[in-house]
Amino acid sequence: MAEKIVWINGREQNQLSVFDRGLAYGHGVFETILFRSRKLQLLDLHLQRLEQGLQCLGIEYSLELIQEELERLILNHPALPNGIVKIIITAGDSERGYAWPQPMQSTRILIWSQYDDAQAAQLKQQGAHLLLSSVRLAHQPLLAGIKHLNRLEQILIRREVEQHQCDEALVLDSNEHVIEANSANIFMVHQGQISTPQLHLCGVAGVMRRYLLETFLPFLDFYAEEKIISLSELYQADEVFLTNSIWGVVAAVRLKRANNEAISWSSGSITQKIQQALLRQEV
């Protein structure tokens, strides 16, 4: 089995036009989906966010066609092991300039790749060490929540993470409010109350975040609040945990600040209960 399988517009190929607007302008959206036990985890939620992003960016699409190609990709490779499936939809080809003709043919890209879950397993066992990033997320409410292809802020943040040899970054916005981690959403627990940042101005509304808020936490008899969270509030939290659709739930145990001082949190009982219950459930 190859390390990667790439389909473009329903065919197994790996060549893309140089005129594609995803390449030229980041005019597109993507989803990263855990493929486990021959099932795409949380697929409905991923497709709902994909559709939201496509509508936001004015990209022509057929959700039925995307689903059909996902099914064919899996059926055509009956021995496909666990991995990650990435969906990328761009606005397709256009001439030079920001304007694009309507209607136009979007580009559909599916990528299956091998995934070594050793890092996730280690993070779940030891907890994540965070860096307080110096990069501040810009406010753009029109794009807030969706997973568009322009990830330049996240690239700059990841460079800091690598330089400081941390696992993840804590990212603030221009108002110094807590927003998210570099590639995950963030939750805090204080005196038994679970909170997560509002994402109406910037940030990515993760699929696992939504699943916890709407379905899983209520199932466990927990209530979580979306609110504006200051850095000082986060410092005072009893527990902090990160979520994304690949890791699930990971405790954050340490935050390194610019002056090399560190804040520590325990991997507490609420985080552990959520983490363990999620591991037992196929989603």
Catalytic residue ranges: 32, 147, 180
In whole angstroms, what is the distance from residue 147 CA to residue 16 CA?
Answer: 21
Enumerate long-range contacts of 156-160, CB under 8 Å, 24 or more apart.
157/133, 157/182, 158/182, 158/183, 160/131, 160/133, 160/134, 160/135
Number of Cβ atoms within 10 Å of the Cβ of 39:
14
CA 116, 278, 146: angle at the middle one, nearest 5? Answer: 75
In whole angstroms, what is the distance from residue 267 CA to residue 231 CA?
Answer: 19
Q: Which helix (H) or strand (E) holds 43?
A: helix 43-56
